[in-house]
A and B are shown apart, each in its own frame.
Chain A
Amino acid sequence: MIAFLLLPALLLLLVVFVGPLFRYAWLSFHADSVVTGLIAIPNGGANWLRLVQDQRFWQDLGQTLRFSGVSVGLELILALMIALLLDQRWRGRDVVRTLTLIPWALPTTVMALGWRWIFNTPYGPIDHFTRMIGIGSLNILGDPHFTWMATVWADVWKTTPFAALILLAGLQTIPVDLYEAVRLEGGNAMVCLRRITLPLLRPYILLALLFRLAQAFGVFDLIQVLTGGGPASSTESVALYAYWNALRFLDFGYSATIIMASFILISLICVVAWILLQIIIPTHSKSQAVVEP
């Protein structure tokens, strides 16, 4: 009976997820480009060998990891602070709660265009400001030292509300009397945060982390609009590279290989992140509870 009810969902999953995945896996062992006249011809592991030796892929992978790691890390810390703040009772909280969601509700393209203007040299407000206070023009979108930070900044700005929302939902599941009980035991706010909030919030932190990691690793539209992968492909992500291979170089076989590789990698990253989080925030301090000084 339950299997029957799940059938539509399973079918959908099969069509939109498993199907393409198998298709890509299959394609990654074929040459399929303008050279072959867009006909898939098995070429053994040639695509994969090319990937391993492709400098640009490794560079993009490094850049994608840097982007994901820094932006998801910042997001979670910011989101936790915002969620803790929005969970307190204060005048005007409900208005702020709603306002917080605006960045997230904006379409990425619109948001990225906005930031492109803000970061613009020499017409954007930031450039105006840095020149005004005497630092001079930073040329944010033209200097590879800064451009990746601009992409992180825009991503943090847009997706922190989402993470904050998940964490806020988590905070609201924690019964108030737990905090009161610990306060009566003499515990201060720090003890409450470490002993109650973080451990009980862990599933929600994990959820936000995995959601955001997977999303950030596949970043495409933000970078496409904000920097186009430049300058000198210094902000190019793996997804952008796969897109270019498919739609600019019309090399579908190699593009599929890049997509498969990034799928495998993101799965691994999620597992590692999950394990790390178990270690950072233990649910149970069973054995060490009494022994620790």
Chain B
Amino acid sequence: MTLQIQNLGRRVGKQWIVRHLNLQVDNSECVALVGPSGCGKSSTLRLIAGLDSVSEGEIILDQANVTHAPATQRAVGMVFQSYALLPHLSVKANLDLGLRVRGVRASERQQRIQAILDLVQLQDRSEVLPAQLSGGQRQRVALARALLRDPDVYLLDEPMSNLDAQLREELRPELRRLVLDRHKPVIYVTHDQHEAMAIADRIAVLHSGRIQQVATPADLYHRPETLFIAKFIGRPQINCFKPKDGAICAVRPESLFFANEGLPCKLISREWLGSSQLLYLDSPHGSLRLSCSTTMEIPETVHVSWHSSDEHHFDATTGRRLT
């Protein structure tokens, strides 16, 4: 089972919301679709799910071209950002609806719902309404519904964005396990680069409706193809020097170190990040971010240096990687 997207595009009026999208997601692979809000992540999922019509390109699911198949006939398991649970139905009835619509026999429905409730650990909440659940529980019901669908592809649209940071971190491995255990392609949408790095096998960075790069988290971090990605991936944010000869040099904050000679800098402020500290420095090339270990004593003025191999160079006008 693979999902293949070829040159996919959607136009509303004169505007292309997404365009020239190429992506392949294999069995048991989780690809994160990441980008700032409004860049077209949800729109892309809706195209794959068949909720919006495709203007250009093709969607191929397990060798079948489903580009223009109606949503009801695609085997797509989607978790909506809002969870989209029916508010007037109990958890059990919410899960039951899809099975019943697809004509599953009553005894089998009962059994499968029980099994899925066990899996997402909501056995004792089966009779309550969605409004009586916590955010994390609602998310698990939405996930359970998608799992019960037994789809050919999983589409998760910011499934964690309504949860608090701690819960998000707790649920991440669980979510990954639950979904990837099904050996189906998974597209995980998030605007949080950190979450994308943590959960995905590969990351597709979307910007203004176009995919800028698809790569493993490590590759994306160490070899960003565009300046936008360099800035978007990795926190604290990469340092960019002023353009020189049509090129922009960028260096990650953790690649900077103190040296006897180098760029003379003045310490402006510092933030404690637990295992490291983040320093804001004022240099002749503009302000710099530098992260270093917490034990280090920092004088008011320092000299900062970095290895030239840690430099990233981008074209100042196109933003594309140079070397």
Cross-chain contact of B102 among A175, A185, A285 (Cβ < 8 A) = A185
Residue of B at shortest CB range from A199? B88
Give which listed residue, A181, A285, A291, contacts B106 with CB less than 8 A. Answer: A291
**Given contact pairs A195-B86, A200-B88, A290-B113, A180 touches B101 in the complex (Cβ within 8 A):** no
Q: Which residue of chain B lies nearest to A180 when distances are taken between CB atoms in the complex?
A: B51
Are A185 and B101 in touch, CB under 8 angstroms?
yes
Minimum CB–CB distance from A173 to chain B (whole Å) comes to 11
Of A153-161, A186-194, A235-243, the segment with at least 4 beta carbons within 8 Å of chain B is A186-194
Contact B97 A195 (CB under 8 A): yes
Query: How distant is the Cα of A170 from the Cα of B229 in the complex, in angstroms?
Result: 44
| Contact A181:B149 (CB < 8 A) given known A286-B93, A289-B90 | no
Closest to A185 in B: B98
Residue B82 at the A interface, CB < 8 A? yes
Pairwise interchain contact B90-A177, C-beta atoms closer than 8 A: no
Bound complex: CA A292 to CA B97 (Å): 11
B262, CB-defined interface residue at 8 Å: no
Q: Does B54 contact A (CB under 8 A)?
A: no
Number of residue pairs A-B, CB distance < 8 angstroms: 84
A187 touches B88 (CB 8 A): no
Q: A289-B89, A290-B106 are in contact. Are A187 and B97 (CB under 8 A)?
A: yes
The answer to whether B89 and A177 have CB atoms under 8 Å apart is no
Which residue of B72, B82, B89, B127 is within 8 Å of A183 (Cβ)? Answer: B72
Q: How far is the CA of A196 from the CA of B72 in the complex (A)?
A: 16
Which of A175, A177, A293 neighbours the largest number of chain B CB atoms within 10 Å of its CB? A177
Are B149 and A284 in contact, CB atoms less than 8 angstroms apart?
no
CA distance A195 to B88 in the complex (A): 9
Q: In the complex where A191-B101, A289-B96 touch, is A184 in contact with B88 (Cβ < 8 A)?
A: no
Pick from A188, A196, A286: contact of B86, CB below 8 A.
A196
Distance A21 CA – B183 CA, assembled complex (angstroms): 71
**Residues in A whose Cβ lies below 8 Å from that of B85:** 181
Closest residue of chain B to A181 (Cβ to Cβ) is B84
Q: Which residue of A lies closest to B113 (CB)?
A: A290
* Residue tally, chain B, CB below 8 Å to A: 32
A77 at the interface (CB under 8 A from B): no
Within the complex, which residue of A186, A199, A289 is in contact with B101, where a contact is CB–CB below 8 Å?
Answer: A186
A187–B109 contact, CB under 8 A? no
B162 interface contact, C-beta 8 A: no
The residue in A175, A180, A191, A196 that gathers the most chain B C-beta atoms within 10 A of its C-beta is A180
Within 8 Å of chain A (Cβ to Cβ): is B49? yes
Does any Cβ of B come within 8 Å of A178's Cβ? yes
CB atoms of B72 and A181 under 8 A apart: no
Name the distance in Å between A194's Cβ and chain B's nearest Cβ. 10
Tell whether B203 is near chain A: CB-to-CB under 8 Å: no
Chain B residue, CB-CB nearest to A288: B93
Chain A residues positioned under 8 Å from B89 (CB to CB)? 195, 284-285, 289
Q: Is B65 interfacial (CB-CB < 8 Å)?
A: no
In the complex, chain A residues whose CB is within 8 Å of the CB of B51: 180, 183-184
Residues in chain A near residue B93, CB distance under 8 A: 284-286, 289-290
Which residues of the partner chain B approach A199 to less than 8 Å between Cβ atoms?
88
Say yes or no: is B286 at the interface (Cβ < 8 Å to chain A): no
Nearest residue (CB) in A for B79 is A181
B119-177 contacts to A (CB < 8 Å): 127, 145, 149
Docked CA distance A196–B94 (Å): 11
Q: Measured between alpha carbons, how far is A190 from B97 in the docked complex, in Å?
A: 13
Interface residues of B (CB under 8 A from A): 49, 51, 71-74, 76-78, 80, 82, 84-90, 92-93, 96-98, 101-102, 106, 109-110, 113, 127, 145, 149
Listed in ascending order, the chain A residues whose CB lies under 8 Å from chain B are: 175, 177-178, 180-188, 191, 195-196, 199-200, 283-286, 289-293
Given A181-B80, A184-B76, A290-B106, 11 new contacts (CB under 8 A): A180-B80, A180-B84, A182-B86, A183-B72, A185-B97, A187-B101, A195-B86, A200-B88, A284-B88, A285-B89, A291-B106
